[in-house]
């Protein structure tokens, strides 16, 4: 069905993903380039742009969305009330503390508990599910807060080393490389421990990402780089803790280590807030002297389901300035520079007659959701399922132009080291080396157009 889209003069690439058996034609609205999330797009440029409900929900579904919203915002407490069970170890008391306005986190300051960032930890090797091996005494994340009577596991320390790079037109781009340390660990850290820094990511559009079929994601895989363009790309294969099954296609998180939203919500509840659920019923302090030991699920399944539904039903913000000639030129530069090989513009969600709002949507996430080797500069050296220590998932770029409006800062990449789009691109290497070189060699006008295009997403 390539031609159907080309006829409308839309889409720059990524068209190869369409099979000849498309279930239904797209509507005129869906072909409008402003509709990043298809019909699940919200026209909102305010600081609330990431937190809108998708249209088309029944009144009953809106109620479930609102219950999820309420628990996303609710501050958990150690005991008493409906939202209890906090800790004993945790990072933040609520989802919304890290995902402020359903948005992106901040890199750490160092020496104080983090706001919206954590270090994932592991020992080399894999557990029975193929997940990274827990660190004795610390588990899989460094929790830097604890409830009264318990000890935080330690604090994150960070220092930056800054180097200058120059673009072809002489513009200086300053790159800061972080080094992380663990300060005041409550017990000694084992030798050989691996760490991976993670900054919180936005939450909108997750239902659409989940609704892309495995099959169409896998169509963009090119593990042996058979087409010789220097870009390979493969899906992560991970463990689905809801159905206890290995080899699920990973699509969520900076390393695509999580297969779907409910797994992510349950994991966040456990590791980030210290709340157990039916999915993860063991406390995150298991194996530690301060553990409560095995406990029952602290949060009812209905609330986990509502939180999941809330994430599934957050609309994608509409693009702005799509007809601006400079933005249009930038879109061409984006394609010509090879950005689009990984930041794939178009995808189609599966037909889902049981839940029509997310069904058969033409969406523009600007990601292939696959893993790419991004080179030594970005490597964390910590494998996660099939992702190596230098592979990262292409993050979706939709909505990224509103980061500053929503979160008051522009910190990009998995650890927030990049402070501008140009810095983010100049950190690209490995499979993205030639795209980065193309970016470096753009004329001033072409580069400004590209940056303006990114700002329109």
Distances (CA, A) of 263 to 294, 347, 369: 20, 23, 17
Write out the residues near ligand HEC by the rule CB under 6 A.
Answer: 91-92, 95, 97-99, 105, 116, 118, 198-201, 203, 206, 231, 252-254, 261, 264-265, 268-269, 272-273, 307, 311, 337-339, 341-343, 372, 374, 378, 392, 394-395, 397, 400, 412-414, 421, 424-425, 428, 431-432, 435, 439, 454
Half-sphere exposure in the Cβ direction for 330 (13 Å, CA): 20
Closest distance of CB 185 from ligand HEC, Å: 18
Pick between residue 26 and residue 132 the one whose CB is nearest to ligand HEC: 132
Please state, in angstroms and rounded to a whole number, the distance separating the CA atoms of residues 253 and 120: 12
Pick between residue 26 and residue 396 the one whose CB is nearest to ligand HEC: 396
On the question of a cis peptide bond just before residue 274, with omega within 30 degrees of 0, the verdict is: no
CB-neighbour burial class of residue 58 (10 A; exposed 0-12, middle 13-18, buried 19+)? exposed
Closest distance of CB 186 from ligand HEC, Å: 18
Pick between residue 154 and residue 338 the one whose CB is nearest to ligand HEC: 338
Closest distance of CB 104 from ligand HEC, Å: 7
Task: Count how many residues are written for the chain.
Answer: 457
Pick between residue 26 and residue 202 the one whose CB is nearest to ligand HEC: 202
Pick between residue 264 and residue 359 the one whose CB is nearest to ligand HEC: 264
Closest distance of CB 455 from ligand HEC, Å: 10
Query: What is the distance in angstroms between the CA of the first residue and the CA of the last residue of the chain?
Result: 25
Question: Is the CB of residue 431 less than 8 Å from the CB of residue 230?
Answer: yes
Quick one: which of 74, 17, 31 has its CA closest to 310? 74
Please state, in angstroms and rounded to a whole number, the distance separating the CA atoms of residues 93 and 2: 48
CB-neighbour burial class of residue 324 (10 A; exposed 0-12, middle 13-18, buried 19+)? middle
Closest distance of CB 446 from ligand HEC, Å: 11
Pick between residue 35 and residue 425 the one whose CB is nearest to ligand HEC: 425
């Amino acid at each position: 069905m390539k031609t159907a889209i080309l006829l409308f003069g839309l889409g720059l690439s990524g068209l190869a993903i369409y099979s000849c058996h498309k279930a239904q034609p797209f509507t005129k609205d869906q072909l409008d380039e402003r509709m990043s999330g298809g019909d699940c797009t919200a026209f909102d440029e305010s600081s609330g742009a990431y937190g809108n409900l998708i249209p088309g929900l029944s009144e009953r579904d809106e109620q479930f969305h609102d219950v999820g919203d309420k628990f996303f915002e609710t501050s958990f407490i150690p005991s008493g009330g409906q939202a209890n069970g906090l800790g004993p170890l945790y990072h933040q008391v609520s989802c919304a503390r890290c995902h402020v306005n359903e948005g992106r986190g901040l890199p750490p300051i160092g020496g104080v508990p983090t706001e919206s960032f954590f270090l994932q930890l592991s020992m080399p090797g894999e557990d029975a599910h193929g997940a990274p091996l827990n660190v004795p005494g610390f588990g899989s994340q460094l929790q830097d807060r604890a409830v009264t009577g318990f000890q935080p596991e330690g604090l994150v320390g960070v220092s930056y080393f800054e180097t200058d790079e120059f673009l072809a037109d002489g513009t200086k781009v300053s790159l800061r490389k972080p080094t992380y340390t663990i300060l005041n660990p409550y017990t000694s850290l084992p030798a050989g421990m691996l760490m991976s820094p993670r900054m919180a990511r936005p939450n909108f559009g997750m239902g659409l990402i989940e609704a892309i079929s495995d099959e169409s994601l896998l169509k963009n895989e090119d593990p042996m780089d058979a087409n010789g363009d220097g870009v390979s790309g493969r899906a992560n294969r991970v463990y689905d803790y809801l159905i206890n099954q290995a080899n699920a296609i990973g699509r969520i998180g900076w390393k695509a280590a999580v297969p779907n939203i409910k797994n992510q919500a349950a994991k966040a509840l456990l590791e980030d807030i210290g709340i157990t659920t039916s999915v993860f019923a063991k406390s995150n302090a298991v194996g530690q002297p301060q553990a409560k030991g095995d406990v029952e699920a602290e949060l009812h399944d209905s609330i986990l389901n509502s939180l999941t539904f809330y994430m599934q039903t957050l609309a994608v913000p509409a693009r702005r300035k799509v007809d601006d000639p400079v933005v249009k030129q930038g879109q061409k530069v984006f394609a010509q520079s090879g950005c689009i090989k990984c930041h794939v513009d178009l995808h189609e969600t599966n037909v889902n007659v049981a839940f029509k709002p997310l069904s058969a949507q033409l969406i523009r996430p600007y990601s292939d959701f696959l893993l790419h080797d991004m080179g030594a500069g970005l490597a964390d050296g910590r494998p996660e399922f099939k992702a190596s220590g230098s592979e990262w998932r292409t993050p979706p770029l939709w909505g990224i132009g509103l980061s500053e409006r929503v979160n008051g800062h522009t910190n990009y990449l998995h650890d927030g080291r990049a402070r501008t789009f140009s810095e983010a691109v100049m950190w690209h290497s490995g499979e993205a080396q030639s795209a980065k070189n193309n970016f470096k060699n753009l004329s001033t006008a072409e580069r400004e157009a590209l940056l303006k295009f990114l700002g329109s997403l």
